[in-house]
């Protein structure tokens, strides 16, 4: 094991210990009553921590600061042990796979969360319209409909109302959630509430038009998904065929790939094929995402 590998292991253990200590300090009651000067001194770490919490919250994972720091400390400790037990090359591959796979998993959860919120939002607005039609104020109707909603929409609305109780307006809380979740529909809803609050007008008419717009968008997305089904299936087939061919060659004639791997030119050809496969999958994924 080389010297830099030991240095990396020590750094990971040191980072794990530092985060664990920070988690214990953050859990102490005296931290909440710390002087402003002392809180400002740890502001950079708090901003990084808030970014990590928002990144997880975008994927539907709601953690406290202490639990997040403890989880990161445990992950760093496990990675440090892996650097010692595994071979240098394999530990690097495993580390890269964990980072890339974890990021892809969080992005998939974030897209799924946005889809569920888009599906729940029209029904929530229709219930809100019924509350307004019987004479309820917008804020009281908004608050009463929170308890009648189901997750994940209910969790988002509870965060908006918590900010309302801290002094923000409802539309400001919706803008914050729109930025966090990357959901443009919430920004449009916040704009409608802000326009009604500042300039007046019929909020019921605005929300009714907004519900109609959301229904039309959902219908358009379904039609587009049905029309592009053949294209998406073709892209999946093109991405899977090289992998299946490589697996077939590996099963039927392993000496062929073994000979290529143990020669410089063959190894370069295999890495080139892997790079072309990855780049092709990325290009097709971006093309399908742009539809």
Model pLDDT for residues 49-79, shown as the tens digit of each residue = 777 888 888 888 888 777 877 777 777 777 7
Residue 35: per-residue pLDDT: 39
Q: Which residues of the chain have pLDDT under 70?
A: 1-48, 80, 83-92, 290-291
CATH number for domain 113-224, candidates 1.10.20, 1.10.3470, 1.20.120, 1.20.81: 1.20.81
Model pLDDT for residues 173-211, shown as the tens digit of each residue = 888 888 888 888 888 888 888 887 777 777 788 888 888
Residue 6: per-residue pLDDT: 59
Dig out the tokens for 129 from the structure.
Answer: 């319209």
The structural domains of the chain, with segments of one domain joined by +, span: 3-85, 113-224, 228-289
Cα 51-53-58 angle, rounded to 5 deg = 95
């Amino acid at each position: 094991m080389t010297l830099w590998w030991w240095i990396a292991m020590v750094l990971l253990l040191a980072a794990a210990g530092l985060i664990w200590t920070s988690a214990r300090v953050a859990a102490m009651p005296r931290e909440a009553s710390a002087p402003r000067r002392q809180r400002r001194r740890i502001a950079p770490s708090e901003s990084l921590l808030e970014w990590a919490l928002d990144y997880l919250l975008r994927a539907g994972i709601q953690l406290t600061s202490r639990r997040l720091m403890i989880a990161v400390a445990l992950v760093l400790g496990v990675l440090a042990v892996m650097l010692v037990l595994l071979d240098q090359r394999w530990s690097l591959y495993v580390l890269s796979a964990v980072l890339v796979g974890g990021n892809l998993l969080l992005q998939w959860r974030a897209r799924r969360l946005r889809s569920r919120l888009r599906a729940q939002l029209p029904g929530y607005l229709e219930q809100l319209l019924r509350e307004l039609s019987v004479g309820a104020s917008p804020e009281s109707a908004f608050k009463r409909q929170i308890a009648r909603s189901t997750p994940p929409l209910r969790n988002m609305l509870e965060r908006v109302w918590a900010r309302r109780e801290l002094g923000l307006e409802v539309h400001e809380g919706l803008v914050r959630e729109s930025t966090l979740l990357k959901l443009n529909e919430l920004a449009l809803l916040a704009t409608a509430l802000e326009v009604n609050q500042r300039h007046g007008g019929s909020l019921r008419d605005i929300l009714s038009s907004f519900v109609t717009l959301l229904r039309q968008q959902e219908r358009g997305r379904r039609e587009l998904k049905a029309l592009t089904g053949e294209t998406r299936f073709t892209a999946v087939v093109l991405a899977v065929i090289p992998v299946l061919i490589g697996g077939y060659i590996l099963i039927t004639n392993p000496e062929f790939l073994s000979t290529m791997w143990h020669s410089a030119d063959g190894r370069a050809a295999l890495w080139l094929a892997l790079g072309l496969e990855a780049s092709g999958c990325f290009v097709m994924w971006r093309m399908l995402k742009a539809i």
